[in-house]
């Protein structure tokens, strides 16, 4: 029997083979997309932590000039901090209040909070970040994992 005769009946792939390959590709794709999404959510956390550190520095500068902290994020200095109420990429909304865990008076303490919004709101492990006038990162239960 010649090689030409042997290959004459086989042309392409069978439907079962094709469906098997499609199923394997679909499974691998779903795993890859889920892993990428988890990675992207963790990477987007830096959007919130970076701005909170910027708020901390701005609050200390404001305190040195005015002998009080401020809750005014958006007004330009000297009236406020000159920082937007959302992070640059829009993953977190920002707010500053008096720190209820300290004096609860904006003149002597503050608590800056970044709360996940939009697509970042699916981050159930670290939905909020905080920092206070003492430099304490929060929330306390997740600070060690969320801030790194």
Q: Tens digit of pLDDT for each residue in 39-89?
A: 899 999 999 999 999 999 999 999 999 999 999 999 998 899 999 999 999
Q: Which residues contact 88 (CB under 8 A, 6 or more apart)?
A: 47, 51
Q: Which pLDDT score, from 0 to 100, does residue 38 have? A: 87
Mean pLDDT to the nearest integer, 100-106: 90
Contact between residue 145 and residue 105 where contact means Cβ atoms under 8 Å apart: no
What is the model's pTM? 0.77
The answer to whether residue 27 scores a pLDDT higher than 80 is yes
The full set of domain ranges for the chain reads 45-146
Computed over every residue of the chain, the mean pLDDT equals 89
């Amino acid at each position: 029997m010649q090689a030409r005769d042997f290959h004459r009946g086989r042309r392409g792939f069978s439907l079962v083979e094709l469906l098997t390959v499609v199923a394997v590709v679909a499974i691998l794709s779903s795993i890859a997309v889920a892993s990428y999404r988890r990675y992207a959510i963790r990477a987007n956390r830096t959007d919130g932590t970076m701005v909170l550190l910027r708020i901390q520095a701005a609050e200390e500068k404001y305190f040195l000039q005015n002998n009080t902290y401020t809750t005014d994020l958006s007004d330009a200095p000297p009236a406020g901090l000159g920082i937007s109420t959302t992070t640059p990429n829009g993953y977190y909304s920002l707010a500053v209040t008096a720190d209820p865990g300290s004096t609860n008076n904006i003149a002597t303490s503050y608590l800056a909070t970044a709360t996940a919004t939009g697509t970042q709101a699916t981050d159930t492990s670290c939905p909020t970040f905080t920092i206070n006038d003492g430099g304490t990162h929060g929330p306390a239960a997740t600070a060690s994992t969320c801030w790194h």
